[in-house]
A and B are shown apart, each in its own frame.
Chain A
Amino acid sequence: MSDLYNVSSGPHVRDKYTTGKIMAIVLLALIPASVYGIYHFGVNAAILIVVSIVSCVLTELIYEIVMKQKITVKDLSAAVTGLLLALNMPPTAAWWLPVIGGVFAIIFVKMLFGGIGQNFMNPALGGRCFLVICFAARMTDFNYDGITSATPLARIRAGEAVNLWDMIKGNIAGTVGETSLIAIVLGACIMLAFGIIDLKIPAAYIISFTIFMGLFSGRGWDVSYLIAQLAGGGLMLGAFFMATDYATSPITPGGKVVYGILLGIMTGIFRCFSSTAEGVSFAIIFCNLLVPIIEKLTLPKCFGKGGEA
């Protein structure tokens, strides 16, 4: 008995994916939107992205040192939160806005609830909504090209026409990362290709939203209006990158579909009936709160008891 070998309960092999690798792929998938944001809005967008990521990562690091917890910044989830927060900021925002948002997101939304995977609300959106409420004017100032410009959705609401091609390309006013449909879909394809997300939530979201708008917006099934609604207001960024956040979306397959549908309806309600033209962030954080109950109601049927196919 000179040599003792390692023992453990099976299985004795592990897949190559780790939390860190998954988060790295999410960061990679956000690069097209970030690069387009910097190209489109200029240096301030780059500053916001860097400041936001650094403040989120540092906040988590300092919190864990002070609380004597295991350091988890290497799993890159704080960096993802930081990047998403920056992509949800208006390009003209002052550098200290993402600092406040980042600290709030990491400490109050994420760490106080137990850190990664334990938060009930998407940290980046929690941070953004906090900023929208505290700094309403600064967070809705979409000054672009030197002229104060309204976002396409605000212009549609005011009855103005918008150029659809500009919206798809991203040549419009909006937050740093939400303007280019092409860049966002490219990033979404990266995540789909690596199996990081599946289509259940985004597809249910987009389809239910389109149907809701067709029925209740008063514009009927006007295709260009619907496309403008889908391409604007960060809906695509929200559908692919924030609604699919693991910790704050249901784990059950059926629950994912229900959650997506609720998101579509909620976003539609905000867009049609609220005082703001956008509403994706609020829709997502409200639906985040419904996740536990959605999950309970959508437990899958197990094998041998009706759940075979």
Chain B
Amino acid sequence: MAGFTFKGGIHPYEGKELSKDKPIKRLIPEGNMVYPLSQHIGAPAKPVVKKGDRVLAGQLIAEAGGFVSANIYSSVSGTVKSIEKHRVAVGDMVESVIIENDGLYEAAPPLPVDDIENMKKQDVIDAVKLAGIVGMGGAGFPTHVKLSPKDPDKIYYCIVNCSECEPYLTSDYRRMLEEPEKLVAGLKIILCLFDHAEGILAVEDNKPDCVKLLKELCFNEPRITVKALKTKYPQGAERQLIYATTRRAISSSMLPADAGCIVNNVDTVVSIYHAIIEKRPLTERIVTVTGDAIAEPGNYLVPIGTSMQQLIDVSGGFKQKPEKIISGGPMMGFAMFDTDVPVTKTSSAITCFTKDEVAANAPSACINCGRCADVCPGRVIPARLSVFAENHDEEQFLKYNGMECCECGCCSYVCPAKRQLTQSIKTMRKIILAKRKKS
């Protein structure tokens, strides 16, 4: 077997040295906390509190609005100020519960879950659902849905995505380094659900310290292996990760479970540990604050609902005026025009750049060099797809396998003509997906 990797991909500047040696600091939030009711894929949660209610830290404030949805908990104690639309990182206005933090952090009773020894498989899944856990790598897919495949006996691999291939991000790295035992324990809980599965901790080889640490921890774990993957973006993209670790390839229309795999992010697995062992709901996550505009880049344990502006403030603010602020990393993140947005379950980082490379590079004509096709992990031809997308030629777009694009951004990154390939392909995919949903 050739090394653990996939074909295509890019090697952008990693930028991880800015924050990788900064231990996780706990952030004490100030001011109002904002909890968007839609922090996940699926139906928005339904609020169970109303204006004026007093809530405790760890109290349920909104319950799942369907099977594919997730509970939301308050991360502070205080009073519900209002339920209104608030701006979120992607730019939308989303209905949110706004809580005035009283600074007391009065805790709600622990989650009503049984001790792990007495739990049946379904109890574990129910506890994960109760804790409001979603995929914390970015997509926000409710984890209890992932853990409930049609046939649990046909799951052969439970993969933890420890690759953190996104440039600049170090939140997963710090988590692995500082609390690796929680990660391994969390994976063991997942493995309890699938009798035929082996656990894989998939780490990129630019984190040799994590590989070593996890290997030591898993020395006596017959069901868990640690795999060092080649450092390459997008090594952590779900389909590429599954291929790199198991040589099973799935198309865009298949689920990982179809290939016998379940993939979870580091923070998600740790949250499962918190929910089952510590009986704590999901109320906090690790966020990296980084970029060349930030005075003191670092990693923070942040209560969900905290304003991103406060994260920037505790990192010493800006040493130079930023041109661009991104929620997430530079490849897959969302550029924000304002920092008055809350940290949600899927916010992995705030990246602040003094220079906006996109604005500095005006697009010019395609020269047909084929670099986009060379790096495309989905093996499509972005140069052609983007033309079809710009012409709204749905038929050709589908014929050229446009739906197999994973929106990783490699094509836009390498394009010497600086064309917005990913953007136009993404837009067309959205239109087609929306159409399919309707019919």
Contact = CB atoms under 8 A, between A and B. Distances in A.
Interface of A: 1, 4-15, 17-19, 21-22, 72, 75, 77, 114-118, 246-247, 249, 251-253, 299-305, 307-309
A6 B416 contact: no
Main secondary structure of the interface of B (DSSP, over half): loop
Nearest to A247: B368
Interface string B312-356: 000000000011111000111111111010000000000101001
Q: Which of B10, B254, B371 has the most CB of A within 10 A?
A: B371
B43 interface: no
Nearest to B381: A251
A198 to B, nearest CB: 8
A247 B373 CA distance: 14
A13 B168 CA distance: 12
B334 A10 contact: yes
Interface residues of B, number: 70
Given A15-B416, A253-B373, A299 B381 contact: yes
Contact of B353 (A12, A115, A305): A12
Nearest to A70: B364
A116 B365 CA distance: 7
Contact of B367 (A7, A10, A116, A309): A116
Contact of B323 (A5, A251, A303): A5
A19 B370 CA distance: 12
Interface in B162-219: 167
Contacts of A15: 10, 12, 413-416
Nearest to A4: B337
Contacts of A302: 251, 378-380, 401, 404
Contact of A10 (B247, B254, B330, B370): B330
A11 B361 contact: no
B249 to A, nearest CB: 4
B40 to A, nearest CB: 20
A19 B378 contact: no
B384 interface: yes
Given A10-B331, A75-B364, A307 B379 contact: yes
A117 B366 contact: yes
Given A21-B416, A22-B416, A13 B13 contact: yes
Contact of A12 (B6, B7, B324): B324
8 contacts: A12-B330, A13-B330, A13-B331, A18-B361, A116-B364, A116-B367, A304-B251, A308-B249
Contacts of A299: 381, 400-401
Nearest to A306: B249
A118 B426 CA distance: 24
Contacts of B12: 13, 15
